Structure formats: C-alpha cells, structure tokens
Amino acid sequence: MVKRLALVAICLAYPCGNAMAQDAKTVIANAQKALGGPQSITYSGSAKDVAFQQCGTNAADMTCRGTHDPMRPINNYVRVIDLAAPASRHTGATNNPAGGGATTPIPGTFFQQVTPQQADVSQPWASSLEFYITPWGFLKGAAENNATASRRTVDGRNYTVLTWSPAVKAPSGKAYVINAYVNDNNIVERVETWVGDNIMGDMHIVATYTGWKDFGGVMAPSKIVQTRGGWPFFEVEVAAARANPPDLATLVPPPAPPAGGGAPAGGPPPAAAAGRGGPGGGAPALTVTSEKLGEGVYRLTTGPGSYDSVIVEFRDHIMMLEAGQSEARALAYIAETKKLIPNKPIRYVMNTHPHADHTGGLPALVAEGATIITQQNNVAFFEKALNTPRTLLNDTLATNPKKARIEAVSDKKVYSDGTRTVEMYHVSPVPHSNGLMIAYLPKEKVVFQGDFSLPAAGQPANDHVKALVPILEKLNLDFDRYINVHASATPQTKADLWKAVGK
C-alpha cells in the first residue's frame, strides 16, 4: 500500500507513462498550431557569423578583439526550411579573407544547407542539428521521436520543456539530447542541444528566438541568436517571412548527385567539426621524425602538411611548444618525446593562439598532466572549454579526465631553471588573433611561431608576416632559425624572413 501511494505521488509530480507521452503530443500540436502549422517557411533579413574559435572577416572592423569578436556580416540573408523533405538552406552575401594571409576582405557567398540525407536522425548529429534547432524542425523531430514533456522555471519564467533524442549515438555511446522551451503562449523561445567537440567537450549549442510576430499570416521571430559553448556564433535579424512559398523548389533545390559515390553536395552546417574528438578513427598512423636543434631541444614533424612542435628539456621536466593540431598528432608527439627524453614529465605545453587547428592536440596534453601556457586574452576561453564535461566523447581526456591548468602570459614571460631558458612574447597588434604568442630560445637562437608563414619564392609577404617583423625588430631578438608550426619544406632563417619583407 505504501509503495502504491508513493508511485501515485511520483506520477502526480512527474506525469508517468502514457500520460506523459500524451502531454508531449498535446504540447507539440499546440506549438505547431501557434506557429501557423506551415509545411515550409522562408525568412530573410541580415545575419552575421564567425568561424569557430576565430574572429570574423569584417570589412568595417578588422581588429580582432577576442574569441568570435568581431563577427562576419551576411547581407541579403535568406533561409528556407522544408519540413516535408526535410531540408534547409540559407544563403547571403558576405566577405572572405583575400587568401594567402592577406587581410583585405573580398566579396564572398554564404551558403549552408542540411540535405534530406543529413536530416536523417540516424546520421551524424553535428550535420543535422542546424535543421532541428529551428522551432519548426524541432517540433517535427519531437513529433516523430517520442518526445517527453516537463515543466521548468528559468529566470523566473515557466516553460514546458520538450525533450527528444535522435537515433544516432555519440562516440561515447551516450544518447544526444535536444530540448525546446515552450512558453505559455505555445511559442518556442529556445532550443538547445549538445555535441562533442575536442576543445569544447560537451559543447552546449543554444538558439534563442525572440520578438515573435505575425508576418502576414505566419509567425516568425524577429531575432535569432545562436551560441556555442557560451560564445557568440550566429545571429539573424529577420525583416520578412512567409509560409509555404510557391517557389520552394527554387529556394531549396535537390542536392547534386554524389560525385564518385560520395556524400551529397552541400556539406555539413557550421562547425560540423564539432564531431571531432576521436583518436584518429581509421586514419593511418603518423610517423614522427625529429630534428635536433640543440642539446635537449628537438623539432617534431610528420612531414609535408605537418603541424610541427618543439620540445625543450629542462632539469626535471619537458616543455612542448604547440600540441600538434590533432589528438592523433599530439599522442604521436608525446610518444616521441618520451623516447627522446625519457623519465621526465611534460610539465608545460605552449599554445601559440586559440584557433581550432592549433588547439586540437591540447586535450591529450591536459590528460598527460601538462599546464597550458597561453596569452592572457585566451585564458577564459581555455578554462571554460577544456574543463567542460566530456560525456559525449571517447577521446584521451574523456577516458582520463583531468582539470585543465592554465598559465597566462601578459606581454612577456621567461621560463628558466638555470640550465635552459625559453621566453614567451605576446605579439600585438596583428590581424590574425589578439592572443598570439611566439617563443624564443636565446641559446639556440630560435624563434618559434604559428601562422606567420613565409611566402613561396617570388611571392610577396602576406599581411601577417608584415605585422610580425616590426614587433621582432622592437623586441630585438637575436635569432637565426625561424620555425613555423606549419611545416616548412626547407629550414627557414631570419635572413629569409627579412628578405620576404624587403629588408
């Protein structure tokens, strides 16, 4: 009798079984009705986005102030969502880097889509979630995937929260979850999900929809803001919307046939690299070679296309400059380091800047117990990102969790134990990042840097290199060797750098 009463009490507090399912169905139906029940919708206006972990190419604002600041403008923005297909596509006019390290923006086209194949919930979640985090896509997914409903209070406001999971599972085997917050007027105000990212861990993706209004018979939000890992990522100011556009086939053309049996054209939506995090999958093993730069100092490389690292032996520990770009390369570099310098821990790993291709190896170094040395402007990003739970991942840090330790460099920091010295410098102002550092080894006369690549023979130096040279002149560093994280075909020297800028 007591157990039965307890069960009744639980079901009163949290609706059980069929009652719960029925409640979710009612909420979904009411929300679809409140939005006008379109089979498709298109909206337009202006937008802005940013490459994940970077700054946008913004012709009106070229100064990188921080992670995702500024963002890149997208004009003449149009998005269409076809619930029957299901599919979505958005386009616009934007600007891109001129290429080759030039900072002058050039006209470009924004284009992203989710094809019917990608929208299949048994396919990778990172490729389909851009469809399902829209209010219309979410409700379609909720109706087809046994959504549940619960009540929740957020910031003093009451919501019905609909929850469902796609069929595909995360690399860890855990189910993905997507939630929508429906207000008392049956309007979806917020949709959230999580996806595994090698830097951001269980990266929280949140889309908020505000300023809902009637656009000539169809309800649509006037403002859309998407964040990833708590950082700005994508925004839309909606100026117009219409339901069931008669030119739907033109707005969302069918995907092109696969080329050579591959996936349909279109590619994944923003930051589909969020699926990163495995130990290299089926990729071939990396072969590491080393170059001795001095006693206890080695450059590690995997050949053409490599992201090189330099390891430095101190009296009782090792410092690694850069973590190797990916988990696979980081693990290969850790193994090679232990062969070259056995019986000493890797205590530090220096990060030149926080762009995705320079941070991918850091989780493996955190799992190794290394403290990350980074410029002060990057500290908040790394502390938040690398200390996020990693329940969706199956990588080295997920299986060997450790709290990331961060050590900041403001303008200059010297690491020395009497036998070895490494100097770190913040290089600013430069167009690429506001958190860029170089390392200088005075005894070996080496400057180690990331992304200040010298041009091919006969080509002019790019804007990044041009910005670095006056900084090096001001620092008055006595160096001979110029080593880039991005592997160079041949050894490069100060003379090569000076020649590239016409000195």
- pLDDT tens digit sequence for 391-419: 999 999 999 999 999 999 999 999 999 98
Does pLDDT of 3 surpass 70?
A: no
Is a pLDDT exceeding 60 seen at residue 109? yes
pLDDT at 159 over 70: yes
- Bigger pLDDT: 232 or 101? 232
Q: Are 227 and 205 in contact (CB under 8 A)?
A: yes
Mean pLDDT of 39-56: 86
CA distance 468 to 101: 12
* 335 and 348 Cβ atoms separated by less than 8 Å: no
Name the average pLDDT for the chain: 88
Q: What is the pLDDT of residue 323?
A: 96
Nearest C-alpha neighbor of 63 from the set 375, 410, 434: 434
**Residue 36, amino acid:** G
Query: What is the model's pLDDT at position 277?
Result: 35
Rg (CA), the chain: 26
Within 13 Å and on the Cβ side, how many CA atoms surround 126? 19
User: Is residue 351 predicted with pLDDT exceeding 80?
Assistant: yes
Average pLDDT over residues 184-197: 97
pLDDT at 470 over 90: yes
pLDDT band with cut points at 50, 70 and 90 for residue 278: very low
pLDDT of residue 339: 98
Asked if the model's pLDDT at residue 126 lies above 60, the reply is: yes
Q: What local confidence, expressed as pLDDT, does residue 68 receive?
A: 73
Alpha helices in 133-230 (DSSP H): 135-144
Q: What is the DSSP string of 316-379?
A: S-EEEES--SSHHHHHHHHHHHHHHSTT--EEEEE-S---GGGTTTHHHHHHHTPEEEEEGGGH
Nearest Cα neighbor of 203 from 229, 168, 231 is 229
Q: Tell me what pLDDT residue 19 has.
A: 44
Cross-strand partners of 290: 300
pLDDT range class, residue 99, cuts 50, 70, 90: low
What is the spatial distance between Cα 47 and Cα 67, in angstroms, rounded to a whole number?
Answer: 18
Give the per-residue pLDDT at 55: 66
* Res 474 pLDDT > 70: yes
Angle at alpha carbon of residue 209, lines to 207 and 210, rounded to 5° = 145
In this predicted structure, which of 166-180, 187-201, 247-261 has the lowest mean pLDDT? 247-261
Residue 143 — very low, low, confident or very high, per pLDDT cuts 50/70/90?
Answer: very high
For tokens 């117009």, the residue is 240
Q: Please give the pLDDT value at position 497.
A: 96
**Between 286 and 248, residue with greater pLDDT:** 286
